[in-house]
Chains A and B, each alone.
Chain A
Amino acid sequence: MIVATLHPLQWTILLLVVAGATAVVLTRDVQRQIVVNGLYGILLVILFTVFAAPDVALSMLVVGTVGYPLVVLIAIARTRK
């Protein structure tokens, strides 16, 4: 029943998003984490598009590909021992 009302595309991307979020949290090494987080961001962009929210997808795209990585990478670089 749960499956029936969802489009297969929606199913796939939802499962990928779950896996992505879990991976971001469980990746304890921040240098790997920022890469995983980037992938998670792209999954979210796809999900938002599937949910018929192009405006939100566009924001997430800009923020996830430039905003997050830049500040986080610099923070990682400055705090490396």
Chain B
Amino acid sequence: MSWIVPLPAVIPLLGAAVITAVGHFTPRIVHNLLAVASTGTSFVFALILMASSVPQERLHWFGGWHPRGGVAIGIGFAVDPLGAGLAALASGLTLAALLYSLAFLEDASHPYHVLMTAFGGAMCGFALTGDLFNMFVWFELMGVAAYALAGFKIKELGPLQGGINMAVTNTVGAYLIVTGIALLYARTGALNLAQIGHTLAGKKPDGLVVVALTLLVVGFLVKAAIVPFHLWLADAHAVAPAPVCVLFSGAMVELGLLAVARCYWTIFDAPFGLHHHAIRGVLVALGIVTALLGALMCFLQSHLKRLLAYSTISHAGIMLVGIALLDTKSLAGAATMVLSHGLLKGSLFLCCGIVLAELHAVDELRLHGKGRNFPLLGTIFAVAGVGLIGLPYVGTYLGHAQIDEGATLDHVAWVQPLLAIAAGLAGGAILRAAARVFLGWGPQEDWLLRQQPSEEPPANVGHRPFLLAVAALMLVLGLAVSLVPGLGQRAEYGAKRFRDRAAYAREVLHGVPTKGTPRLPFVLQPTTRESVLYGLGAGAIALLVAAFGLWRHRLPDAWRLLAGRVAGPPLEGLRAVHSGVIGDYVMWLTVGTAVIGGVWALTLR
């Protein structure tokens, strides 16, 4: 079975190459077919891989270069259920985005299909690899495809600026990663994750290892859009075509988080296992700040895609908390949240694309009431927004519940209400936008919301019911995540395997397979009463926030004046930080690196 391991990554690459080779001599339908077929094949193989990696890690040593005496001399894919699951999500979303593009971007020339297909393959490769430098290669391949796709609309200034901001920030992040890899190579003489971890185990960590940890974590958190490295994401999302946003939000950001988790559990758990409190503290703090700040910024947007982008940042923060708690339950929660969030957020972005095509704008205020004639579209948009709140047994609830449980076990139960507030705030902003656009509720003016440059609608939009069908399918799948019997237990089993560094190293370096799997039941994951209450609380917050956004003007004048005095200046300051200027972004990146590295330099010893 190990022959299928490389296929999710390499088949799309081959597809991209073939599309380029025949691009000038064949009609568009052939490009579409090749793109959809190769991505679809990749999706199917990723699913098979996910299923087959449950009993044991699936290894594939490229070129047949097996490790010799515990020294890896080649590159290996080491596939675990969580990594394969994320690869399947990434290729599934790519497939959905390509199908949607069939009708949405009918005029797109073949380079668009080449970039999308290769982007999907690169994401799979990144999720599956077990080699640190190979991770960097996939990281860059994802990057170059993404930068060009972000700047797709070459006649509008916004997309170009968004593309540049994304390219420069992520490239600086990539150099930090290479520097970290070089430091680890200096110490261990290895590039294989398991071998690096094995070599570092049992030795006292020193400055080199702490700095390498900082550089790798920061580099990957840039991709994961964690505060203060998140600034590029809103720019890039606001301007990229809707199907591209699906991939940015649904999979690329999450891959950055996967990389942080992967590096911790294969490498840094070895030297820092005894000091994990310091690592947990910093990452949990970053996650909570990201979740709350992202949600607040989300509430301040009127541009729908920018609003959704900040909601993604907020969710990335919640997922980071799940990973940062460093226990099985929470990691499983992060994984199930990635799944439901990817599908629901994808559905929301696809809805934005339809809104742009039908109504020629994506600005909430400009679109006030204009969506009344599109009840189905409005329903999909609003229900997907509800799914992201984490109401009991809806959408992202399972993820929230598992993170709640993990936090309680780790005695950091105080993170739970904060995460519920973040989810409620961001969800409320989406509901407010839905109510204003599709129902015409609330006033047409709102000084809190800032208008963004408008976007040209796509020239020829094909069969519209088809677009709606893709969005609806993703919505249904995303909502169902919390109701799939046995999913939670499987995620926990996957997380347990993901965290077992010793077993991973034995299997990768010495080919010792893991012991047999427990029989996992097909029943709904039980959740605690607190989780249900937090879910309901988040729902209540969302309703309040949406109502506040829509009918704030009905509050007594004195209250509003006071609130404006108190909240106005900090909000303006917050906006000023999101300046769109690349120099500022790299400055924040440096500040973040210095702070994280400084804290770890003082605490990790």
State if A and B touch, Cβ cutoff 8 Å: no
Interfacial residues, chain A to chain B (CB-CB below 8 A):
none
